[in-house]
Amino acid sequence: MRDGINIAKRGIPAVALVTEDFWPQGDFVAESFGMPDVPRVRIPHPIAGSGDANMRRVAEQVVPAIIDALKQAHVPPQNL
């Protein structure tokens, strides 16, 4: 979340990938950084260590959502 927010604050379209288990924490972080609308895509948990085949399958499933989120992302730069 923080990486996506920091990139978006610079005016660069960004999408945070957040696992299901950490989605509520993502809400909290986005709110606390003043960017509740930063684009996010939900991915299964756990993803790390789940194997190359599984990560490829998940990537293939979420790429369209990532592209859609990037197309809709318009985040004006904020004062850093």
Residue-wise pLDDT tens digits, 9-52:
898 899 999 999 999 999 999 999 999 999 999 999 998 889 99
Q: Is the pLDDT of residue 73 over 90?
A: no
What would the two tokens of residue 55 be?
């990560």
Entry pTM: 0.81
Angle, vertex CA 45, rays to CA 33 and CA 48, nearest 5? 95
Q: How far is CA 67 from CA 36, 46, 51, 60, 70, in A?
A: 19, 22, 24, 12, 5
Question: Which pLDDT score is estimated for 74?
Answer: 64
Question: Which pLDDT score is estimated for 20?
Answer: 96
